Amino acid sequence: MAAEVPGPDEVAEIEGAALALGLVLTRANTSVYPKVPALQLRALHFVETVEPLTLTRLADMLGVLPSSASRLCDRLQSAGLLSRRPGAHDRREVELLVTDSGRDLLARLRRDRRADLGRVLAGMSAEGRAALLTGLREFTAVADAGVPV
């Protein structure tokens, strides 16, 4: 059974709510030291999630050229957050690994982000939080299924 297509007003209202959620989640990004731009944080998160990750695959995940991903990794490596090594199966590849400092930074970011989110959620009713979680789970499932645009 096909879902009912939302109207433009409903989409706009959901967009506004999603932006508010995004602002709460990204507020913690400004607190991390050293200051790390959002794209670099995203790259660090991808590497941590898929470790070891090749430079080519990271570029694909970020939607950037390999040369841009390489420069981004140069900055992360200079900051002591990322390390590189030759590929285990193909020495022409470069594998990326998060350093202990990078893991500490990501853990601090997650802690701060969850604290910010927790403060907002504390202002909601239990029913509201449950409804939000149900909706976000369904949204995630549909988004992960690769709904065509």
Confidence (pLDDT) at 1: 46
pLDDT in tens, 52-108: 899 999 999 999 999 999 999 999 999 999 999 988 888 888 899 999 999 999 999
- Rg of the chain taking only CA atoms, in angstroms: 19
pLDDT in tens, 14-58: 999 999 998 888 887 777 655 788 899 999 999 999 988 999 999
Confidence (pLDDT) at 148: 59
How far apart CA 121 and CA 136 sit, in angstroms, is 14
As beta bridge partners, residue 95 has 54, 85
pLDDT in tens, 122-131: 999 999 999 9
Q: What element of type H or E holds 94?
A: strand 94-98
Q: Do residues 116 and 28 touch, judged by C-beta distance below 8 A?
A: yes
List the domains of the chain with CATH numbers: 35-123 (1.10.10.10)
Q: Is the pTM of this model over 0.85?
A: no
How far apart CA 42 and CA 73 sit, in angstroms, is 11
Nearest 5°: the CA angle 67, 26, 82 is 40
Nearest CA among 4, 103, 91 for reference residue 44: 103
